């Protein structure tokens, strides 16, 4: 199998696998001949016939693909062993977590999904906070009142998360 690089619109390139047996080139009848992409002949034969060519215009593409696959593996490993493992275990075991937020509210719920920014999809959430009721002039300060509410499903943006505690009892 021979590899050829198909150049279209300047910097964009497409790798085309061609069989080693000679065959006629069929042109697309719907595209005028002037706008059909050119197929450049390969400059050298590669040692491994099934490996992609190393064309200077396409090397960035292969590097990006390799980094993307390595990044996914590293991210999975980081989620299972790093600080985000608390969230990963909560998703796997369907356990509750207690999340302290920047607005001085606490969320107790089950994590359905999360990402590296700590954005989370939560279910069966109990939101808890304290409020100090306002008093009239000349009266003593009122004691804080604990309040809470139930939210069946919610999306929590990661920048509001301060701390995540696993399996509180």
Model confidence over 94-103: pLDDT tens digits? 999 999 999 9
Please state whether the predicted TM-score (pTM) of the whole model is above 0.85: no
Q: Which residues of the chain have pLDDT under 50?
A: 1, 10-11, 46-47
Q: Share the mean pLDDT of the chain.
A: 75
pLDDT in tens, 62-84: 555 666 666 666 667 777 788 88
134 close to 149: Cβ distance less than 8 angstroms:
no
CA count, 13 A, side-chain hemisphere, 166: 13
Which residues face 97 on adjacent strands?
A: 109, 166
Interaxial angle between packed helices 85-93 and 59-81, expressed in degrees from 0 to 180 and rounded to the nearest 10:
70
């Amino acid at each position: 199998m021979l590899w050829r690089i198909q150049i279209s619109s300047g910097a964009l390139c497409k790798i085309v696998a061609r069989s080693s047996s000679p065959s006629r080139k069929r042109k697309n009848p719907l595209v005028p001949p002037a706008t059909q992409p050119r197929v450049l002949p390969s400059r050298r034969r590669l040692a491994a016939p099934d490996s992609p060519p190393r064309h200077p215009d396409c090397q960035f593409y292969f590097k990006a693909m390799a980094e993307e696959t390595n990044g996914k593996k590293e991210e999975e490993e980081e989620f299972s062993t790093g600080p985000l493992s608390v969230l990963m275990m909560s998703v796997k075991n369907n356990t509750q977590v207690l999340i302290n937020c920047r607005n001085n509210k606490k969320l107790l719920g089950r994590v359905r999904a999360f990402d590296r920014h700590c954005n989370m999809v939560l279910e069966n959430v109990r939101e808890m906070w304290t409020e100090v009721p306002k008093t009239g002039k000349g009266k003593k300060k009122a004691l804080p009142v604990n309040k809470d509410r139930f939210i069946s499903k919610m999306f929590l943006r990661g920048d509001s998360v301060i701390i995540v505690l696993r399996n509180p009892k």
